[in-house]
Structure formats: structure tokens, C-alpha cells
Amino acid sequence: MGKAVLVTEGDTPLGAALVRQFCAKGISVVTTTPAGSEGAEQRVSRENDGVHVVPWNRRSPLSARNVLLSSLNAFDALDEVFILEAP
């Protein structure tokens, strides 16, 4: 299996640019969008084929655990994690 990375904040300009770059290089990507924003989830999925999008409530430790478990379920392992701060 190829390389897999996690990029938080995939709905922001920087996060979206990172997701596009990784996808262009054939790297599997898991990205997060704010919990409760179905429109952002659908937009990120539509713009990037094969990206695994996970809703994330940044203030919830349980939500962070869910992001990691969902990532590992999708790709067995993560090679790199990029945690971006929202503006």
C-alpha cells in the first residue's frame, strides 16, 4: 500500500492546497472539515477524488480520537500528519 497522510482543515485554502498537492503525487489523503458542515465535506470530496473526509470538532478529544481511528480504518497506517491551525 502507498503512502497516506492526514491533513487537518481541508476546507481552508492552505489545507485544500496541501490535499491537492498530495493527491497529484498519488498519495492517499485523509482530511478533516468542521463537524456539522456537510457542505464543506461534499466540496472537499468533490474537488479531490479518493480523499477520505472526516468531520472534526477541534475542541473535542473524542472527535480527535475518531479522526485517527477513521484514518487508520481507511488506510491501515499514516506516514505523516499535518495539523493546521484555523485562522
CA-wise closest residue to 15 among 1, 37, 31: 31
What mean pLDDT is predicted for residues 78-86? 90
pLDDT tens digits, one per residue of 38-79: 666 666 666 677 789 999 998 999 999 999 999 999 999 999
What mean pLDDT is predicted for residues 22-35? 91
| CATH code, 66 | 3.40.50.720
pTM of the model: 0.85
Overall number of domains in the chain = 1
Query: Is 87 inside a domain boundary?
Result: no
Quickly state the pLDDT bin for 5 (edges 50, 70, 90): very high
What pLDDT was estimated at residue 85? 86
Question: What does the block give as the cell for 77?
Answer: 497506517
* Residue-range definition of the domain harbouring residue 72: 4-82
Query: Is 29 inside a domain boundary?
Result: yes
What pLDDT was estimated at residue 36? 75
Q: Which H or E element spans position 5?
A: strand 4-7
Question: What does the block give as the cell for 25?
Answer: 503525487
Query: Is 38 inside a domain boundary?
Result: yes
